[in-house]
Structure 1
């Protein structure tokens, strides 16, 4: 009967070892990033660029590193900011940080997704497939409604 505590200890050590991450030091895959209120502006005939907006909430700190869509040749995460009294727009090459548990809104006049080289006009009521890629979490596929975002 003295072997029972030894077996219990070995079983506990085995279970603890199974829960540890591998030698890479990187933790297990992060949970999915929640996406809400995805909308893209319509494009009049001949216009090939548009903005898309949404709200992201990551369960763990993460970064939105890229976006893609089959309706556009290129999709980028952009920021808007004032420089020399002028509103400037540029790509966030390092991605958009997502603090753990905090909603991050991509909205008109601020950070947003820019679709360039839109292949067909986007009409109100259509949907736009977007694939969002993150540094840690698995990619998220979203269908954004085409319409005018709230002011």
Structure 2
């Protein structure tokens, strides 16, 4: 019975970790996560969702973390049939009522010059700076990624 209770508690807690979110004014930040990377990888990515619950446009301007030398907003573009990653200049616009998903193959926060490996189960802070809402520090959870879809430059 104790093992069953412990297992149920573990499932409940893992659901909470998987569903963590943050609020900054009208901006809802859903489940910031990063994929576990090989120890030698100098880069990583952070994914999340941004929902503007307000009545005016806002813009994600930048991101920073002590976990990497730099963090940049990136996206993927189709360059004559070849998908390429590019730095987003001017930030990511969030129209009223809009949700923007940062996901593999789309927008993401590119971490460059990792100061330590991204290992499954790790957590690290990421500060997001918005044009109108201001800044907020969120907790990024490192999840298992899988070899076939690993994120790298």
Length-normalised TM-score, structure 1:
0.75
Report the CA distance between 1:69 and its aligned residue.
0.3
The yes-or-no answer on 1:120 pairing with 2:116 is yes
RMSD: 1.8
Equivalent pairs counted in the alignment come to: 122
1: CA distance, partners of 2:144 / 2:136: 23
8 A contact 2:74–2:88 mirrored in 1: yes
Runs of at least 4 residues off by over 2 Å:
none
Report the CA distance between 1:33 and its aligned residue.
1.7
If you compute each CA radius of gyration, which structure gives the higher value, 1 or 2? 1
8 A contact 1:69–1:75 mirrored in 2: yes
2: CA distance, partners of 1:114 / 1:32: 25
1:102 aligned partner: 98
The yes-or-no answer on 1:45 pairing with 2:51 is no
Report the CA distance between 1:32 and its aligned residue.
4.4
Length-normalised TM-score, structure 2:
0.74
Secondary structure of the equivalent of 2:134?
coil
1: CA distance, partners of 2:35 / 2:51: 22
Which of residues 55, 64, 70 is equivalent to 1:68?
64
